[in-house]
Each structure stands twice: as C-alpha cells, then as structure tokens.
Amino acid sequence: MMPTTPDTPGDPSARTRTAGRSAVRTLLRLWPYVRPVRARLFTAAFVAVVASCTGLVIPLVLKWMVDGPVAGRDPAGVWLGALYLLLLGVAEAVLFGLRRWLVARPLSHVEAEMRAGLYRHLQRLPVAFHDRWASGQLLSRGTTDLMLLRQFLAFPLTFLLVNGVTILVGVGVMLLQDWTLGLVILGPAVPVVVMCALFEKRYASVARLAQDQVGDLTTVVEESVLGIRIIKGFGRHRSQARAFHGLSHTLRGTELRKARLLASIWAVIMTLPEMAIGAALVVGAVQVADGSLSAGTLVAFLSTALALRWPVESIGFLLAMSQEAATATERYFEVMDEQPEQPGPALAAPAGSAKGGARRVGSGAGGDGGLRFENVSFRYPDAPPDSPPLLDRVDLHIRPGESLALVGATGSGKTTLTSLVPRLHEVTSGRITLDGADITALSREELRAMVAVAFEEPTLFSASVGDNVLMGAGDDAGQDELERALSVAQAGFAHALPQGTATQVGEQGLSLSGGQRQRLALARAVVGRPRFLVLDDPLSALDVHTEAAVEAALRQVLARTTALIVAHRPSTVLLADRVALLSDGRITAVGTHHELLRGNAEYAHLMAGAPAREEEDDDR
Ligand SMILES: Nc1ncnc2c1ncn2[C@@H]1O[C@H](COP(=O)(O)OP(=O)(O)OP(=O)(O)O)[C@@H](O)[C@H]1O
Ligand SMILES: [Mg+2]
C-alpha cells in the first residue's frame, strides 16, 4: 500500500456542515463531561468574578482619595488610601491564583475522560467505519482537538463570563459616576459588537478548515512512518516530502488567514475604545474646568475605563478560542455520534462468562451443527447501490469437525467471506449460523469466543510475543496454553528470541520476519481452542519445510475444530476435507480436491502449476 495524499479524510460531509450551526449549542454538548467537575468550575468562575470586581473598587478608592485627603492636604489620609489600594491589589492577585488552582486538576480529568471515551468508542465502531475514516483524522481528534477543549474550559469559558460581568459592572459604575461621560464611552460598543458577530462567523469556517488540515497532515505523517520501507524501497521520499510540504503549506496559509482575521478584529477592539477614552478625557476635562464635575470623579471614571481595557480587548481572542473549541467539539462528536456495533441481543451471557455462554448455545444443536452460510449476499457499504453484490446468495455448509478450504481467484471475495463470520462486516442479506445459532443472535463476546481468526496480513501489536499470542485466549489462559499454541504453529523460534516469549515485538511486529509473524498470528488463532477457526491463507509466507511442519501440527488442531481455510496452494487445500470454489460471487463447486481437479476447469486452472501430492491426500 503506497502512502498517498488523502484528499477526502474522514467524513466527507463534515466539512460542509460547519455553516449554520451555533457555537453555543455545539459547546453545550460538552456538559455531560464537565458535569462531574461543575462545582469546582462554578466556584472558580465565581472567585474570578469577585477578583475582577475587586479591581473595579480601586477607582472608587482613588476618587475618595482625590476628592478627600488629597484635596484637603491630609497626608495620613493619603497613606490610609494607599494601604487600601495595596490590600485590594493583593486580594485580587490571591483570588486569581485561587481560581487557577481550582480549575487545573478537574480539567485535566475532563480531558482524560473525553479521550478515554473516544478511544473506547473507536474500539467499538464497526470495521466499515474504519474503512471510511483516515487514521490521521481520528488521531488529531484525540490529541489536538481535545487539547483545544481543555484550554477552552480552563480559560476562555471562565473569562468570557468574568469579563462580561466585569464590563457590565464597570459600565454601570461609569454611568453612575457621570452618565454623559458614560454614553461617550459606550458609543463605540455598537460597531464593536457588529464586528465581533461578523468575525465569529468567518473565523468558524477557517478554524474548521485548519483543524481538518491538521488531520490530513497527521495522516500523511502516520502513513509515511508506517510505510517507510516502501517509501525507501521505491525511492519515493522526495515525492512524499513534496506531498507533506504541500499540505503543511496549505495549513500555514489557513493559519495565516486565521491570524489576519484575528488581527483585524483586534484592531477594531483596540482602536475604538481607545478613541472613546480619549473623547471622554476631553469632555471630562472641560466639565472639571467648568466646575460641573469633581476631579476625583473624573479620575475614578478614567481609571474605571482603563481597568475595563483588558476585559474588552480580550474579547477578540476569547471569541476566537471559543470558536476553535466549538469546532473541536464538533469534530469530536462527529466520531462519537457514529453508531457502534450492536452488542447483540439480551440473551447474551453476563460479561466475563462469554465462553460458558458459547457452550450453552452450542449444546443440542443436532444435525444443524457446524458453520452454515444460508443464501448470504454481501456488498460493501460504500459500493454503489446498483453494482452487483460481491457475494451473491452463497450457500455453504461446513459440518461439525470438518475443515473446508475456500479457493477462488484473487479479488473474488474470499477474505470478505471470512470476515463475515466474526461479524467484522454485516451480511447484506441471508444468514450465517454456528451450530444452528444465527450469529446475529449471539452477543459479540459469545461469537468471538467461538470463532478465532487469522488474517492474510498477520497484525501484531507493540507488546511481548507471549501477550500477542495470548490475546486470542480468555484472561485465564497462561503459560501452558501459550506453549501449546506455539508448538502447534511451529513458532518455537519465540523461545530463541533474546528474552524468550517476553521479548517485545516492534510496532506492528515489523522486527519479525513475515513467516514468524504469520506463525504467531496462527498461534493466536489456536490458543483459545476455538470451536470454529477461520484462517485466511495462513501459510502463504512460510518456506516449504516450515510449511510442512505447520501443516502437520495444524492437522491435529483441525481434527478438533470446524474450520474455514482460505487457500491458494494445493498443499494448503490438502489440509481440508473438502474444497469450495468461489467464482463471480457464488460458490460454483464443492467437493474433494481431486473431484474438483478432475471435474472443474476453473479449479484445475487455479491449482495448475503446482500439482497436488497424491500421497498426502491418501493420509485422510
Ligand atoms: N473494505 C472494503 N471496501 C470496499 N471494497 C472492498 C473492501 N475490501 C475489499 N474490497 C473489494 O472486494 C473485492 C474482494 O476482496 P477480497 O479481499 O475479499 O478478495 P480475496 O478473494 O480475498 O482476494 P485475495 O486472494 O487477493 O486475497 C475486491 O475487489 C476489493 O476491491
Ligand atoms: Mg484475501
């Protein structure tokens, strides 16, 4: 898989949805996560409002000083006033510190909860969702977007409230001091509010664009790190770097647009109030000269206006941050709103006893046992609705204890067929039964305890070899099961690794050879002694000798399970009791290897080039 530049990451409709939604309504969706810490958050907001209003008392003390002790030349009064001012300043600082302390811990809790929620949800979303969404888009939602949300809850949320209250109280104080001067100050408020509204709308769409582009960029980085071998092998590092550069250039352009928008609103918010203060100063000075206004009132008025400068100026970037948070919330919930896999019906066994439940379903199934496909049709959800189904009315019965090989040309839908059994994809019509029980009537736990799978691409995780294998078993499986599975899969090499089965495999198991990975995946499939085994071409990467050894061991496993094995080579086919041929979405022939070899031209053609070894077939 050559890493490509994704042009439609994530949900394609998402980018057009931004317009016409209200930031407030979007942000309200955060409430369930904020609820547990609401007491602290409200206390913090209250403390901040008190702190901010404490600051507004300072001008009143100034007024008292100017009109009282200063006018009356009373040094002791001035010192007293200074002391008051000092105390007020200290109180303000202490209260703001208290606010910070109050919010820090609960908010990191909110962020962690949201991230855990996202991760949990991603695990439960169907494979069809993951087929559709670029991984970088999911990654950026779990990182950048959640960070934006935490910052929003910590800062802009509180300060929009605090500054709003402060501005209201401040304006009230100014109007009480002198209402003509107050009106002069309030004049520019109207254009500022209009500008803010316009700004918000435009900023919303640019912010969304920027966050989506971060997702695109993450996808490219992720793909090129995972595909580094291909990139180097084909000497594609230049074109890959170009793709990255192109995307980061686009992102930079978007960020610059954000900065320009922010700069323009900032200019308006800074300039207009500044001019209003200048005008008030002139009008006020004239009134003081006339004797219609006391000097103390003018001082108080102007220092109130100056104290309001920060709350007013901050509105611009507080709005910007809130807008980004709204976008992040939107992106977060786009994923959270996706329907997870249905857990299955209520007859499900209580969690933890899935295996017991599976046995219960299996008992008394009678002649209807085994793995049965009944009239199964399937089309990928993203395929055009008028296209022919990939699997068309497939009927197949694998009797209990039997193993059936599935053969078909490449791209005929073998992997797709196998993925229907553990319900990685849902059948479009028809049904699949395990020992008579419809797989849709089983809970996911029951189903996945009954069926074990090994896919063509053996996926390993960054964990120890032992843990990778034991993933296929219940929590109670231990060293004995591990040993048995490793010997079945001929994966004895694990003991020769530096730390034996405790050796960590690198990301995706890339530190192991293809055949080693395949054998570990096989061990994982058999470790839980599943009653049904689905193997997608499990031996393709093994050399002839290892293959023979794995086959010999696998034959013992297959004797005790019901198995569906996708096979490309006669040697794998010969592991199975019977063979089914998949062609044009239908099962066109079922029989033994030799029957089909003689009677079916397509099968003979698929198996040509490597004639079957007679003596092995005679074993059974
Ligand atoms: N997630 C998917 N979404 C849409 N189409 C898919 C998806 N996976 C596979 N297909 C299509 O379904 C068809 C069958 O794919 P499948 O992987 O089942 O073939 P296969 O028989 O396993 O082939 P091979 O022998 O090469 O492994 C292919 O044409 C492929 O393009
Ligand atoms: Mg396949």
Using CA atoms in the order 246, 251, 256, 257, what is the torsion angle rounded to 10 degrees?
110
Which of 387, 415, 420, 455 to mutate to test ligand 1, by most ligand atoms within 8 A of the CB atom? 415
Report the C-alpha gap between 276 and 283 in whole angstroms.
10
Ligand sitting nearest the alpha carbon of 414: 1
Which of 416, 421, 569 to mutate to test ligand 1, by most ligand atoms within 8 A of the CB atom? 416
Report the C-alpha gap between 48 and 56 in whole angstroms.
13
Q: Which residue, by CA, sits nearest to atom 17 of ligand 1?
A: 415
- The CATH number assigned to the domain with range 37-336 reads 1.20.1560.10
Report the C-alpha gap between 208 and 327 in whole angstroms.
6
CA of 582 to the centre of ligand 2 (A): 12
Ion ligand 2 neighbours, Cβ < 5 Å = 415
Q: Which residue, by CA, sits nearest to atom 1 of ligand 1?
A: 131
Confidence of residue 190 (pLDDT cuts 50, 70, 90): confident
CATH 3.40.50.300 range(s) for the chain read 371-380+387-619
Confidence of residue 16 (pLDDT cuts 50, 70, 90): very low
What does the DSSP assignment read for 330-352? HHHHHHHTSPPPP---TTPPPTT
Report the C-alpha gap between 192 and 209 in whole angstroms.
26
Backbone angles phi, psi at 244, to 5 degrees: -65, -45
Q: Which residue, by CA, sits nearest to atom 30 of ligand 1?
A: 411
- pLDDT, tens digit, 9 for 90 and up, residues 277-317: 888 889 888 988 888 888 888 888 888 888 888 888 888 88
Q: In what order do the strands lie in the sheet with 391-398?
A: 391-398, 371-378, 429-434, 437-438
Ligand sitting nearest the alpha carbon of 583: 1
Report the C-alpha gap between 373 and 367 in whole angstroms.
15
- pLDDT, tens digit, 9 for 90 and up, residues 500-535: 888 888 766 667 877 788 888 888 988 888 889 998
Measure Cα distances from 434 to 359, 440, 442 in Å. 11, 10, 10
Q: Please give the number of the atom of ligand 1 that sits closest to the Cα of 419.
A: 18
* Other beta carbons less than 10 A from residue 498's beta carbon: 7
Using N-to-C axis directions, what is the helix angle for 146-154 and 309-336, rounded to 10°?
140
Could you tell me if the CB of 425 is within 6 A of ligand 1? no
- pLDDT, tens digit, 9 for 90 and up, residues 263-279: 988 888 888 888 888 88
Could you tell me if the CB of 490 is within 6 A of ligand 1? no
Q: Which amino acid is at 94?
A: V
CA of 569 to the centre of ligand 1 (A): 19
Q: Please give the number of the atom of ligand 1 that sits closest to the Cα of 410.
A: 25
What fold does the segment set 371-380+387-619 form as a domain? Rossmann fold (3.40.50)
Report the C-alpha gap between 270 and 315 in whole angstroms.
10
Distance of CA 114 to the CA centre of its chain: 10
Residue 588 has pLDDT above 70, yes or no: yes
- pLDDT, tens digit, 9 for 90 and up, residues 457-513: 788 888 888 888 988 887 777 888 899 889 888 888 888 888 888 888 876 666 787
CA of 128 to the centre of ligand 2 (A): 17
Could you tell me if the CB of 412 is within 6 A of ligand 1? yes
Secondary element (H or E) of residue 453: strand 451-454
CB 484 within 8 A of CB 441: no
Could you tell me the two tokens for 236? Answer: 């594609």
pLDDT at 301: 85
Q: Which residue, by CA, sits nearest to atom 3 of ligand 1?
A: 380
pLDDT at 117: 92
Report the C-alpha gap between 88 and 41 in whole angstroms.
24
CB 343 within 8 A of CB 444: yes
Q: Which residue, by CA, sits nearest to atom 4 of ligand 1?
A: 380
Could you tell me the two tokens for 383? Answer: 């395929």
Tokens 């009239």, located at residue: 375
Task: Record the pTM.
Answer: 0.74
- pLDDT, tens digit, 9 for 90 and up, residues 44-80: 888 888 888 888 888 888 888 888 887 777 788 888 8
CA of 424 to the centre of ligand 2 (A): 14
Q: Which among 217-221, 226-230, 579-583 has the top mean pLDDT?
A: 579-583
CA of 87 to the centre of ligand 1 (A): 74
pLDDT at 161: 86
Could you tell me if the CB of 380 is within 6 A of ligand 1? yes
Could you tell me if the CB of 408 is within 6 A of ligand 1? yes
CATH 1.20.1560.10 range(s) for the chain read 37-336
What does the DSSP assignment read for 239-269? HHHHHHHHHHHHHHHHHHHHHHHHHHHHHHH
CA of 458 to the centre of ligand 2 (A): 12
Q: What is the DSSP pairing of strand 451-454 with strand 532-536?
A: parallel
Distance of CA 606 to the CA centre of its chain: 42
Tokens 């031209």, located at residue: 601
CA of 474 to the centre of ligand 2 (A): 27
CA of 436 to the centre of ligand 1 (A): 28
CA of 425 to the centre of ligand 1 (A): 12
Instruction: Show the DSSP H helices in 337-397 as ranges.
Output: 354-362
CA angle, residues 424, 426, 432, in degrees to nearest 5: 100
Instruction: Show the DSSP H helices in 561-600 as ranges.
Output: 570-573, 593-599
Burial class of residue 332 (count of CB atoms within 10 Å of its CB; 0-12, 13-18, 19+)? buried
